[in-house]
Amino acid sequence: MIRFDFHDDGVLIFDQPVATFVATTPDEVGPVLRQAEDARRKGYWLAGLLSYEASAGIDPVLVTHPSAGFPLVWLGAYPVPKSLKDVTLDGGYQVGVWEPRVGLEEYARQIHQIREAIRAGLTYQVNYTMRWDASFSGEPYRWYHDLRRTHQGAYSAYLEVGRHVVLSASPELFFRITGSRIWTRPMKGTAPRGAFSSLDMDHYLRLRQSEKERAENIMIVDLMRNDLGRIARWGSVEVASAWSIERYPTVWQMTSTVSAELRPEMTWVDALHALFPAGSITGAPKARTMEMIQAVEPDPRGIYCGTIGYVKPNGDAVFNVAIRTVSVDRNEGRAQFGVGGGITWDSQVDAEYRELSAKAAFLEVASQAFALVETVRVVDGCITLKDYHTDRLRQSVEYFGWTWHSQAVDEAWDRLETTGAGRFRGRLLYYADGRVATEITPLAAGAGGMQSVAYAVKPMPPTDVWTWHKTTRRDRYMERHPAESPVFDHLLFNNRGEVTEFTRGNLVVKMPDGLWTPPISSGLLPGTFRQYLLDRKAVRERIITFHDVETAEQLWFINSVRGWVPVRLVNLAPD
């Protein structure tokens, strides 16, 4: 089965091809593409993929590693796409720990080798990539469903190709042909998302103003213009937009659009011969740079940096650049994922490795679907701090790039407020696809009086996006405050020795000069009751240390459901 979730045509599903066209060696690539084009001319749809190593079959000048068992070309011919209702969603899956094949030390050696080639004038920019591996079991289609719903890549696709299954959440268009017009949208220039709104905007502005990132983008745009010139009408190649900044769950991405008018005899096959592989995942100049890639990267890329797409019977075509793409080997129970970045003379090893890590964060975000959560206090049919909960929820929806459904949220609040007299604990769950669910339970009376709390045994992960947004992903909190814990809650801290929050609420500390709460920058959930108190200047922000906690006149656990809960520490700060 093949499924496309391209925004151009919506959901397209292909099953049971009348013919398949497969190339496993470079010399088979050209003939297989011609056979597929013959089928298209007979009225069939075509759907499938080309791996990065198909490049050597497109043009013998383009050097790659030999394929490691993944097909170079796989295309199926189909009479018509199927409808979405014909596909069922069953089963679960499990993904192991992702491990990079290249460590920082080896990465530094390879970047040094690339910079020496740039110094010698052999290349201007090299898109260096590395692979990550993990064990996998279960249903890959369910994983794709979660990945696509979470990331909403504009060019997502799912393909079953023998023992291999490809799950792509690509945001990047390789090329689109509509009639006689062709468009490409190369992505080059990346910044990590900031974990909270102000930091996120700082990263956005830094990318927008970066001369280095813009220079990388310009190089690739020039390469794509040159490639398009091989199949375009004279003088028709143009840059439709330059240096747009787009938001994705883990990165900000710089994107440009280049278009042209095709010469009358040109088809999707000619476009592949002129453009493949995409310049955004090679560097410039393409042929010489691909020699450099083959020299420094230790293994083939496979589908990563290849292309996935379909061709209509009338010749219109859409293909993505297969980035943010996972391949699963069902025989071996292994999953593989690639990340990469453009290396120029100005590249710094630590910064580039951080960029790869930011892109690899896709794996964690994609590994499990989640919902945003608001937990509220409902008293006699009225939600406490409802406007604060709505504002925080909207900010998280926008951060993850989801669509805000104001009416659905208002209706959910209304459902929670129809409980009548009494005190209740309500939950609103907001999903990536726009669904909004609610839960309501009676609010049990608290134990009352002073509660015992303890420090967690280890710090929270630094710059962890899940810390700043309230979601159903509670693993890190449950690990630090297990259900069987004898204390009321555990007090968290970061790797800089700054105390942050509890697993279920914020911290307020009474010092001689007033009431203080840790700042958002220390790494904590922006609680609604906390924000209410800040707005009324009842508390102020400052970094809180272990010493501050242990010498404070009083400590409180606070949240919007329980209010103020006085607490006392029962252990010392960790070493």
List Cα–Cα distances, 364 to 172, 341, 466, 519, 540, in angstroms.
20, 19, 11, 26, 34
Architecture of domain 2-366: 4-Layer Sandwich (3.60)
Q: Which residues contact 232 (CB under 8 A, 6 or more apart)?
A: 182, 260, 261, 262, 263
Of the candidates 286, 324, 316, the one whose C-alpha atom is nearest the C-alpha of residue 166 is: 324
Q: Where is 158: in which H helix or E strand?
A: strand 155-161
The vertex-150 CA angle with 214 and 208, nearest 5°, equals 15
CB distance 37 to 75 below 8 Å: no
> Strand, coil or helix: what is 574?
coil
Q: Burial of 542 by CB count in 10 Å (0-12 exposed, 13-18 middle, 19+ buried)? A: middle
**DSSP-derived secondary structure letter, 93:** E
Q: Give residue 189's pLDDT.
A: 83
Q: Give residue 213's pLDDT.
A: 86
Q: What is the DSSP string of 479-495?
A: HHS-TT-SSSEEEEE-T
> Strand, coil or helix: what is 34?
helix
What is the C-alpha to C-alpha distance for residues 159 and 571, in angstroms, rounded to an integer? 53
Q: Chain-centre distance of CA 262, in angstroms? A: 34
Q: Chain-centre distance of CA 495, in angstroms? A: 25
Supply 358's token pair. 């930011």
Among the four given CATH numbers 3.40.50.1100, 3.30.470.10, 3.40.630.30, 3.40.50.300, the one describing domain 371-442: 3.30.470.10
Q: Positive or negative, the Cα torsion across 321, 323, 329, 332?
A: positive
Of the candidates 428, 503, 429, 496, the one whose C-alpha atom is nearest the C-alpha of residue 466 is: 503
Domain boundaries, the chain: 2-366, 371-442, 451-569
Q: Give residue 364's pLDDT.
A: 65
Q: Give residue 89's pLDDT.
A: 67
Cis peptide before 285, with omega less than 30 degrees from 0? yes
What is the C-alpha to C-alpha distance for residues 376 and 366, in angstroms, rounded to an integer? 28
Residue 19 has a CB neighbour count (10 Å cut-off) of 15
What is the C-alpha to C-alpha distance for residues 33 and 21, in angstroms, rounded to an integer? 8
Q: Give residue 368's pLDDT.
A: 62
Q: What is the DSSP string of 236-271?
A: --EEEEEEEEEE-SSEEEEEEEEEEEBPTT--HHHH
Domain spanning 451-569: CATH superfamily: D-amino Acid Aminotransferase, subunit A, domain 2 (3.20.10.10)
Give the residue numbers marked as catalytic.
Answer: 172, 188
Q: From the first residue on, what is the mean pLDDT of each consecutive set of 10 residues in the chain (575 residues)?
A: 89 95 97 98 98 95 93 97 68 86 89 92 90 93 85 89 94 94 90 79 90 86 92 93 84 91 96 93 90 94 97 97 94 93 85 76 65 96 97 89 91 93 95 92 82 93 78 90 92 94 97 96 93 97 95 96 95 77
What is the C-alpha to C-alpha distance for residues 376 and 273, in angstroms, rounded to an integer? 58
Strand order of the sheet with strand 554-559? Answer: 540-541, 514-517, 506-511, 554-559, 563-569, 451-455, 489-493, 498-502, 544-545
Q: Which residues of 340-374 are buried (b: 16+ CB within 10 A; e: fewer)?
A: bbbbbeebebeebbebbebbbbbbebbbbbbbbbb
What is the C-alpha to C-alpha distance for residues 316 and 121, in angstroms, rounded to an integer? 39
Q: Residue with structure tokens 């999953």? A: 335
Of the candidates 328, 293, 325, 277, the one whose C-alpha atom is nearest the C-alpha of residue 65 is: 293
* Identity of the amino acid at 132: W
Of the candidates 427, 440, 413, the one whose C-alpha atom is nearest the C-alpha of residue 471 is: 427
546 DSSP β-pair partners:
none
